[in-house]
A = this chain, B = another copy of it.
Amino acid sequence: MDLSRRELLAATGAAALGNFGQDKPVGWAVLGLGGYATRNILPNFKHCKHSRLVSLITGTPEKGKQYGAQYGIPENKIYDYKNLEKIANDPDIDVVYVITPPGTHHEYVMRALKAGKHVSCEKPMTGDLKQAIEMVEEAKKRNKRLGVGYRCHFEPHNLEALRLCKEGKLGTIRYIRSDHGFTLGDWSQWHHKRAIGGFGAISEIGIYAIQAMCMFAGADPVEVIGTRDKSSNKLFKEVEDSNHFTLVFPNGITGQGATSYSWNANNVRIYGNAGRIDAEPATGYENHQFTLNGQPMIPNEANQWALQMDHLSQCIRDPKMVLRTGGDMGLRDVRIMDAILRSADAGGKPIRL
């Protein structure tokens, strides 16, 4: 598009800009105060340039008090899941970051959108294709941004690898492989429960492999093949333990990977006809190890969470900006996972997307 910013604003309606100029930080409410929110999100607002934590939304009042005190959020900015709709009247909240177990994302994303807020939804968006479509449609209908918490698109090592791929340092990329899994030890939580856990390992951790394949292939797959590990622990009654998948991309690249709640892995390998990138950990919180043809890649360190949130904030302020990890991408990944599992259901039959 070659529209000037002014023309674009006129075309899309200035309303999309919301109530702020280019300098005012975007106001964030964090919904859900579990481990990821309290360890990885709340502490990283201080590294943000465009995002400000202004509100907490929780189902546990004690947590609201505790983290409210810690992050200087006044009591009248701490909401309960039950009265979430009240945020509609709070002009300081521009965007709600939903960080609850996957099976509950749909409910909170829809309610936040209906309250007139932009939304950041933690990955996986959902383990239900119909829900994913509804979320994307609701955001579009309301002209709100819906971002997905795909932090690797902002993680410096991954970005450096992407840059090297785009610059042709690997020659023509032919094959991308990624295994992602962890051994599920805590059976008291939501991970293995279909209603709140999503698909299982594939949506919780395998999604990083799918994400990496699509990101480094620079395309969406047109066909998938999936299989299922038949030797799963008996405790896996409701969700997937281990899956293996092949993604066929239209540009000739093949992705292959596996995921599990029964083994540990966090790696990505990108094979080009002139070079290779190997990474493990590839998509972690820290200590990434990336090599190009065996030589360590040392990108500029930066805070992936702050960059992720700031990008959405900038997109909220500027309707011209393309959201790197929007709801469409989240929906695409749910479609891919859904197809992998349908293929596995059919004994490995290829499924066209």
User: What is A's interface to B at a CB cutoff of 8 Å?
Assistant: 172, 174-175, 177, 179, 181, 183, 223, 225, 227, 229-231, 242, 244, 246, 248, 251-254, 256-258, 260, 262-265, 269, 271-273, 276, 347-350
Q: Mind listing 18 A-B residue pairs with CB under 8 Å?
A: A174-B231, A174-B262, A175-B229, A175-B258, A175-B260, A175-B263, A177-B258, A183-B273, A225-B225, A225-B348, A227-B246, A227-B254, A229-B254, A230-B252, A231-B251, A231-B252, A263-B276, A349-B349
CB distance from A347 to the nearest CB of B (A): 6
Task: Known contacts A271-B181, A349-B349; decide if A242 and B254 are in contact (CB<8 Å).
Answer: yes
Contact between B254 and A262, CB atoms less than 8 A apart: no
* 18 further contact pairs, Cβ within 8 A, besides A225-B348, A229-B254, A230-B252: A172-B231, A172-B262, A174-B260, A175-B258, A177-B177, A179-B269, A179-B271, A181-B271, A225-B225, A225-B246, A227-B248, A229-B252, A231-B252, A244-B246, A244-B256, A246-B246, A256-B258, A265-B269
Distance in angstroms between the alpha carbons of A174 and B265 in the assembled complex: 12
Contact between A174 and B263, CB atoms less than 8 A apart: yes
Distance in angstroms between the alpha carbons of A349 and B348 in the assembled complex: 7
Contact between A174 and B256, CB atoms less than 8 A apart: no
Distance in angstroms between the alpha carbons of A175 and B233 in the assembled complex: 14
CB distance from A201 to the nearest CB of B (A): 12
Contact between B172 and A348, CB atoms less than 8 A apart: no
Q: Please state the number of chain copies in the assembly.
A: 2
Distance in angstroms between the alpha carbons of A284 and B348 in the assembled complex: 32
Distance in angstroms between the alpha carbons of A251 and B231 in the assembled complex: 8
Distance in angstroms between the alpha carbons of A174 and B264 in the assembled complex: 11
Contact between A272 and B276, CB atoms less than 8 A apart: no
Contact between B229 and A174, CB atoms less than 8 A apart: yes
Q: Which residues of B contact A253 (CB under 8 A)?
A: 231
User: Which among B175, B177, B242, B276 is the interface contact of A174 at CB below 8 angstroms?
Assistant: B242
For A253, give the chain B residue with the smallest CB separation: B231
Q: Which 8 pairs across A and B sit closest by C-beta, in order of nearness? A: A231-B252, A263-B271, A348-B350, A262-B273, A225-B348, A244-B256, A230-B252, A244-B254
For A257, give the chain B residue with the smallest CB separation: B256
User: Which among B179, B229, B263 is the interface contact of A272 at CB below 8 angstroms?
Assistant: B263
User: Which among B183, B231, B244, B350 is the interface contact of A347 at CB below 8 angstroms?
Assistant: B350
CB distance from A322 to the nearest CB of B (A): 27
Distance in angstroms between the alpha carbons of A347 and B223 in the assembled complex: 10
For A343, give the chain B residue with the smallest CB separation: B348
Q: Which residues of B contact A258 (CB under 8 A)?
A: 175, 177, 254, 256
Q: Which residues of B contact A177 (CB under 8 A)?
A: 177, 179, 258
CB distance from A157 to the nearest CB of B (A): 19
Distance in angstroms between the alpha carbons of A244 and B249 in the assembled complex: 13
Distance in angstroms between the alpha carbons of A230 and B222 in the assembled complex: 13
CB distance from A45 to the nearest CB of B (A): 34
Q: Which residues of B contact A257 (CB under 8 A)?
A: 256
CB distance from A255 to the nearest CB of B (A): 9
For A271, give the chain B residue with the smallest CB separation: B263
Q: Which residues of B contact A348 (CB under 8 A)?
A: 223, 225, 246, 348, 350
For A243, give the chain B residue with the smallest CB separation: B254
Q: Which residues of B contact A256 (CB under 8 A)?
A: 244, 256-258
Distance in angstroms between the alpha carbons of A230 and B269 in the assembled complex: 20
